[in-house]
Structure 1
Amino acid sequence: MSTRRSPSRPSLRPERTEVLRLPDGRELWLRPVQPADAAPIAGAFELLTEDEVRRRYLHPVKALSPDYLQTLVHPVPGQTFAVVAAEPLPPGEALVGALARLNRDPGCDSAEFAILVSHFVSGQGLGVALMRRLVEWAEAHGIRRIWGDVLDENTAMIALALAMGFQREMSPESPNLLRITLDLAPPKRLPRR
């Protein structure tokens, strides 16, 4: 997958839009979620397999509630961040093939992540691209640890996390869950003069 950065945005801003060329030749935009993405996200959810939904939500979910969708597409500045991999069309018109979000834990310098990549675009490196964007946002907002609970059978997510330096341990929530965590480097401090 090659990445071309949008010329109108600085290259190190997590809120930028990147053009991703997938190995299969398709082009997607990796960009922050927008309010207009609510309907395309709901529509894409209906195309997911039961297994994809269970691996992301850890239990069966029939549909995304309107309240959940509104929370997802209206991130709270400095507290939540969501990014999508979508067709190169305006928000609201673009099909959304993958989504990642990060929610800061209340009063802490840690945040929970979640990633969902549809089978329509899986195996194309999107999980790594989404996770890198979440890490960039976390670092830019003073978050020192990101974590997520993953079903122990979700070998693709576990392999991605381990390849990116995450550690794994049994989740306190359930014996069939792993908690994967990534400690981020503290910010570099400039020497005092």
Structure 2
Amino acid sequence: MTALRLSDHPHHIEHLRLRDGGTLTVRLVAPDDGEVLQRYFRKLSMVSRHNRFLGAMSELPAGELDRFVHAGENDRFSVIAVMMIEGHEIIVGEARYGFEAASASFEFGISIDDRWQRRGVGAALLRNLGCRAAALGATRIFGDTLRSNAAMIGLARKLGFAFGRHPDDWKLVRFEKPIDPVHQEIPCASWKRAAERRMAEAVV
């Protein structure tokens, strides 16, 4: 497997437009985000935490939190989606993803703050993950969720994902869709540049 490079993951802030006209900011999680990220997970409802971690969990264990905030370990990366509310940066969603070069597969998991669900945050974040997947050369993007997670299933269906059985756990459903990293239009300019650089390097 080819290890991902931090240069493949721009550190600058990306601003995404929500359907209500608001601005969502997405950036990589940094080591000093540990405390605020843990507070975010603690404030999720029990149902949202259960859906995100596929089981009962009140917070991230220390070891897992450490992995979340250190970009690139085991080719996994985490991003937070934030909004400015009354002058304060508030986390309204997060995602963790990894790219496996051998299978050209991009796997992800996301959560959205309960107060910000059904407001377009999840769709914006998923589209951003699609940008990242295409830029890295993925031909397939997928995630797993509980069969009872109607919100995630509905969002994935709306964005064109197909559904199938999870290979190891009957309680889960896998949703995925193909990606054409060469011809797909990548709406995020920084990730489009990363894709073009990667393709140029492949030719050399």
TM-score range, shorter chain: 0.7 to 0.9
Percent sequence identity is: 28
The match for 2:15 is 18
Structure 1 or 2: larger helix share? Answer: 2
SS in structure 2 of the partner of residue 187 of structure 1: coil
Alignment of 1:141 onto 2:136: yes
1:155 alignment partner, one of 143, 147, 150: 150
Residue equivalent to 1:48: 44
| SS class of match (1:95) | strand
In the superposition, the TM-score normalised over structure 2's length comes to: 0.74
Q: Does 1:96 align with 2:91?
A: yes
Kept in 1, the 8 Å contact 2:95–2:108? The answer is yes
Match of 2:126 among 109, 125, 131: 131
Structure 2 letter corresponding to 1:86: V
51 and 21 in structure 1: CA distance in 2 versus 1, 3 angstrom threshold = same
Q: CA deviation at 1:108?
A: 2.7
Q: Which amino acid is 2:82 matched to?
A: A
1:116–1:40 CA distance, 2 compared to 1 (3 A): same
Structure 1: runs of 5 or more not aligned: 1-12
Please report how far the alpha carbon of residue 183 of structure 1 lies from its aligned counterpart in structure 2 after TM superposition.
0.9
Q: Which whole-Å CA distance do the structure 2 matches of 1:178 and 1:21 have between them? A: 28
- Aligned Cα RMSD in Å? 2.8
- What CA distance in whole angstroms lies between the structure 1 residues aligned with 2:180 and 2:73? 22
TM-score (norm 1): 0.78
The one of 17, 24, 31 equivalent to 1:35 is 31
Residue from 114, 118, 123 that aligns with 2:113: 118
List alignment gaps of at least 5 residues for structure 2.
1-9, 184-198
2:62 to 56, 62, 66: 66
* 1:81-128 deviation per Cα after TM superposition (whole angstroms, max 9, x unaligned): 322112339xxx733120012112373311211010010211110111
Q: What corresponds to 2:83 in structure 1?
A: 87
**Count of aligned pairs:** 175
Cross-structure match for 2:178: 183
CA apart distance, 1:27: 5.1
